[in-house]
């Protein structure tokens, strides 16, 4: 079973020159309840389907299964997603031995910037760069699936 362990942080701004890589991501949700999500994503002209389970009590870890699917199938499945799509630019920033994924949201979530770092275990130490802000790990309103239901522009 694949377990995703990650920490999330808010950013007030982001210097894109820190990034080693970037890509546009468009994603939607076929299912997005508190116990599970089924996500369709297009990233770098590739399609993906992802199933995630309910987060643990701390909001740090949850089951995640992801598979690449043909781009045309991902485009068709996005049309089945309820509530529209999340549109964002993802930047990768190396900090110590980890890579932060910094999502700069667009459209209804414009103005929201979230940095995530994936860990191999819950208590793993990691470098927290000076540009990383308040931790929001485990706060459901910052989950992408929830941002579909209540976008940042409506807060």
> Mind listing the domains of the chain with CATH numbers?
3-154 (2.40.320.10)
Calculate mean pLDDT across residues 1-26. Answer: 95
Q: Looking at residue 58, what is its pLDDT?
A: 87
pLDDT, mean over the chain: 95
Calculate mean pLDDT across residues 124-150. Answer: 94
Return d(Cα 116, Cα 132) in angstroms, integer: 10
Q: Kindly tell me the number of DSSP H helices and DSSP E strands found in the chain.
A: 2, 8
Cβ–Cβ under 8 Å, residues 1 and 63? yes
Q: Looking at residue 122, what is its pLDDT?
A: 94
At 1, the pLDDT band (50, 70, 90 cuts) reads: low
Tens digit of each residue's pLDDT (9 = 90 or more) over 14-69: 999 999 999 999 999 999 988 899 999 999 999 999 999 998 988 889 999 999 99
Return d(Cα 115, Cα 100) in angstroms, integer: 6
Tens digit of each residue's pLDDT (9 = 90 or more) over 73-131: 999 999 999 888 999 999 999 999 999 999 999 999 999 999 999 999 999 999 999 99
Return d(Cα 13, Cα 27) in angstroms, integer: 23
Return d(Cα 14, Cα 103) in angstroms, integer: 10
Q: Looking at residue 142, what is its pLDDT?
A: 96
Return d(Cα 154, Cα 16) in angstroms, integer: 26
- CB-CB neighbours of 117 under 10 Å: 24
63 among known catalytic residues: no
């Amino acid at each position: 079973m694949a377990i995703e362990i990650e920490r999330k942080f808010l950013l007030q701004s982001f210097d894109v020159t820190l990034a080693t890589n970037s890509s546009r991501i468009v994603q939607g949700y076929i299912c997005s309840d508190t116990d599970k999500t089924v996500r369709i994503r297009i990233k770098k002209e590739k399609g993906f389907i992802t199933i995630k389970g309910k987060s643990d009590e701390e909001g740090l870890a949850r089951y995640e299964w992801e598979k690449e699917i043909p781009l045309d199938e991902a485009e068709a499945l996005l049309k089945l997603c309820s509530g529209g799509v999340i549109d964002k630019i993802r930047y990768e920033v190396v900090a110590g031995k980890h890579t932060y994924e910094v999502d700069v949201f667009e459209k209804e979530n414009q103005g929201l910037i979230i940095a995530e770092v994936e860990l191999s275990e819950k208590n793993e130490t990691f470098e927290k760069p000076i540009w990383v802000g308040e931790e929001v790990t485990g706060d459901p309103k910052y989950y992408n699936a929830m941002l579909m239901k209540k976008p940042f522009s409506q807060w």
